[in-house]
Amino acid sequence: MLVSVTDFTFTKRLDLPGIARAAIGLRRTWPALDGAVGLWLWTAPRSRRCGAVSVWTGEEALHGFVARPDHVAIMRKYRTRGVAKATTWVSPGLDETAIWRDAYRVLMGSGTPTGPNAGAAPHTGEGRLRR
């Protein structure tokens, strides 16, 4: 399993409703996505942050989602409105508690996944959204 954690810090609080609507729209298509295993959306409005923890069968499935026209359109719309961070790692299985524990560590800046759930070195990317 490939775990992906995204963290978007938006500049203006007024952008959150539009970002949330876009995320919910993408979530509605989730059951039909090839290779999609699990998805949790999260928000921290006071910190102007939101994102997702998603689980995929592998990198090909994640890249297929990232390249979808609806996802690309959303990223283009919000790319200048904040900073995005993304981290991925390989999980040996679908242990929701372990995935969330490791995702929380990443999101709180405590480092990278270190528990038995971290089956491979994580990949971390940061910067303004670009497409």
Specify the pTM.
Answer: 0.81
Given this model, what pLDDT does residue 65 score?
Answer: 95
Residues 50-76 have a mean pLDDT of 95
pLDDT band at 31 (very low <50, low <70, confident <90, very high): confident
Pick from 14-28, 36-50, 71-85, 117-131: least confident: 117-131
Angle at 22 between CA 18 and CA 27, to 5 degrees: 145
Kindly list the distances between the CA atom of residue 28 and the CA atoms of 7, 32, 33, 41, 92, in Å, as whole numbers in the listed order: 20, 9, 10, 12, 27
**pLDDT(126) > 80:** no
